């Protein structure tokens, strides 16, 4: 992983922790190609509903965005 990717993932994990979003949810983001805050900020309800992210976590993500 390149340094910029490590920094982007670190920022994403820090944001997630701040908003009570689990590490497992962040891992699922990454699996779906949302591995940076820039990408996560583009998520919408449809993206989340098509993911394997639990509904409660989906709601926390939407609230945080």
Q: Are 37 and 11 in contact (CB under 8 A)?
A: yes
Return d(Cα 15, Cα 1) in angstroms, integer. 20
| 26: nearest Cα among 49, 1, 63, 51 | 51
Residue 63: predicted pLDDT: 95
Residue 62: predicted pLDDT: 94
| 65: nearest Cα among 33, 28, 34 | 34
Per-residue pLDDT of the chain (65 residues; tens, 9 = 90+): 556 666 577 889 999 999 999 999 999 988 988 888 898 999 999 999 998 999 999 999 999 99
Kindly state the DSSP code that residue 36 receives in the 8-state scheme. Answer: S
């Amino acid at each position: 992983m390149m340094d910029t990717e490590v920094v982007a993932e670190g920022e994403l994990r820090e944001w997630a922790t701040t908003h009570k979003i689990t590490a497992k949810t962040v891992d699922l983001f990454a699996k779906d190609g949302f591995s940076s805050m820039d990408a996560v900020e583009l998520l919408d309800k449809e993206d989340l509903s098509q993911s394997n992210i639990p509904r409660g976590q989906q709601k926390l993500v939407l609230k945080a965005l």
